[in-house]
Structure 1
Amino acid sequence: MARPRKFEEERAIEAAMRAFWRAGYEATSTQDLCVATGLGRSSVYNTFASKHDLFEKALRHYMDEQFLILTDLMDGDLPVREKVRAVLWRAVDPDPDDPAGCLVINSLVELAPRDPEVAELLRRDNERRMEIMRSAFELGRARGELAPDRDPPTLAHFVVATVSGLRVAARGGADRPALEAVANTALGVF
């Protein structure tokens, strides 16, 4: 019995996401996608309109997964400093099965300047991440965990920029002690 198409599509999107994450959009060929997904060339194009369509679906999948993780880390009753620590340490100590770096950051650098559709996806994703962090920082400030003069939107930008920098540094080969030093320095703000 054939597997349901929805399962095949979800599995292919996950596999394509990892291929794009490892090599980037331009460097990932259709053949690379066929190998990664286990689909033939015609199946790739019958299931997805184009390489770009598959990339957008893979990017959305990645952003949704990462947003759920961020939401889990920033929600709850932990003090705001512990929430930030958990977010930073995900960048210091990522899942060893994941490619180095971040598909969002890679796409922001590689595609956003010349691809308005991808740029818009990334802009909306950034707004979602900023909002969940801003809310957590406002709650932390209301609880007295942050000084009253601490600006939640600025703190959200700071954490997003720090995590982005950690992901880029990791992709560039920075070792764990270097990543920990950056994360601990950032944590000193909280």
Structure 2
Amino acid sequence: MQVQSSSGRPREFDDAYVIEAAMDIFWTNGYDGTSTQELCERTGLGKSSLYNAFGSKQNLYQQALEHYQELGIQAQAQILKAPGTAPERLRALLQWGVDRDLGSSRGRGCMALFAVLNRTGKDPKVAEINRIYVDRLEQILCHVIAVGQRNAEVPPAPSALELARGFLGSYYGLRVLGQSMPDRAFLRDALEGIVARFEIPLIK
């Protein structure tokens, strides 16, 4: 991307670097808690350059959110496409969420989830971005569960779509609990309770 410097000469900026830096500060502070001055300091851009390049703080936030979600989809898809039974892969995804919430990102939580809670009602574009993200994750989950049903790893009813949506509700509920109840033993029990709904009990 080129923007005009104060002298009128075009200047090159690394869009990916700016969006990555903006994502980090939005993720930490939220949209309302992030000032334009902080964005300038973190990205290395002057205020006029920032607005010339991205239009507004809101537009930059939207691009940062899309970047965060793309990274998240890639990571979660890799887990869900790994070897193992469907319940094992679902457990691995839940464990990934717990580890993120209790690990180095402790206190920041899930940027996508907080965008839903804090920005969806205020920004239709954010609502659209979040809807696309959930749809993509739902499609991956639905495929994993449908294959699990065909392999007799997951109960045959309800439908794969209903189970995928039920899992999504439980998954994001667990992510919220990771912020309010940062206790690994508590979250492990909640995790196992979720997975139990997707396992076929062994016949003794």
Instruction: Give the drift of 1:114.
Output: 2.4
- Asked whether the equivalents of residues 130 and 160 of structure 1 are also in contact (C-alpha less than 8 Å), the reply is yes
- Asked whether the equivalents of residues 74 and 83 of structure 1 are also in contact (C-alpha less than 8 Å), the reply is yes
Q: Secondary structure at the match of 2:100?
A: coil
1:147 partner letter = P
Q: State yes or no: 1:87 paired with 2:89.
A: no
Deviates more, 1:51-60 or 1:167-176: 167-176
Q: State yes or no: 1:162 paired with 2:170.
A: yes
| Larger Cα-atom Rg | 2
Q: Could you tell me how far apart the structure 2 residues matched to 1:178 and 1:5 are?
A: 50
Counterpart of 1:176 in structure 2 is 184
Q: State yes or no: 1:153 paired with 2:161.
A: yes
Instruction: In structure 1, list runs of 5 or more residues that go unmatched.
Output: none
Q: Deviations over 1:82-135 (max 9, x none)?
A: 110111001111173435311111011111112211111111111111011001
Number of aligned pairs? 186
Q: Could you tell me how far apart the structure 1 residues matched to 2:69 and 2:12 are?
A: 23
Counterpart of 2:20 in structure 1 is 14
Instruction: Give the drift of 1:24.
Output: 1.3
TM-score, normalised by the number of residues in structure 2: 0.83
- Asked whether the equivalents of residues 166 and 182 of structure 1 are also in contact (C-alpha less than 8 Å), the reply is yes
Residue number among 114, 117, 122 corresponding to 1:114 in the alignment? 122
| Pairing of 1:55-134 with structure 2 (within 5 A) | 55-94=61-100, 96-98=103-105, 100-134=108-142
**What is the aligned-residue RMSD (CA, Å)?**
1.9
Deviates more, 1:93-102 or 1:76-85: 93-102
Q: Deviations over 1:31-74 (max 9, x none)?
A: 12123323332332232111011011101101111111121111
- Asked whether the equivalents of residues 34 and 41 of structure 1 are also in contact (C-alpha less than 8 Å), the reply is yes
Query: Any runs of at least 4 consecutive aligned residues in structure 1 with deviations exceeding 6 A, and if so which?
Result: none
Flag the 1:51–1:181 CA change in 2: closer, same or farther, 3 A: same
Q: Could you tell me how far apart the structure 2 residues matched to 1:171 and 1:40 are?
A: 35
Flag the 1:14–1:98 CA change in 2: closer, same or farther, 3 A: farther
- Asked whether the equivalents of residues 162 and 186 of structure 1 are also in contact (C-alpha less than 8 Å), the reply is yes
TM-score, normalised by the number of residues in structure 1: 0.89
Q: Could you tell me how far apart the structure 1 residues matched to 2:65 and 2:32 are?
A: 14
Q: Could you tell me how far apart the structure 2 residues matched to 1:18 and 1:166 are?
A: 23
Deviates more, 1:34-43 or 1:10-19: 34-43
Q: Could you tell me how far apart the structure 2 residues matched to 1:37 and 1:159 are?
A: 37
- Asked whether the equivalents of residues 141 and 150 of structure 1 are also in contact (C-alpha less than 8 Å), the reply is no
Deviates more, 1:133-142 or 1:31-40: 31-40
Q: Secondary structure at the match of 1:148?
A: coil
Q: Could you tell me how far apart the structure 2 residues matched to 1:106 and 1:157 are?
A: 19
Q: Secondary structure at the match of 1:93?
A: helix
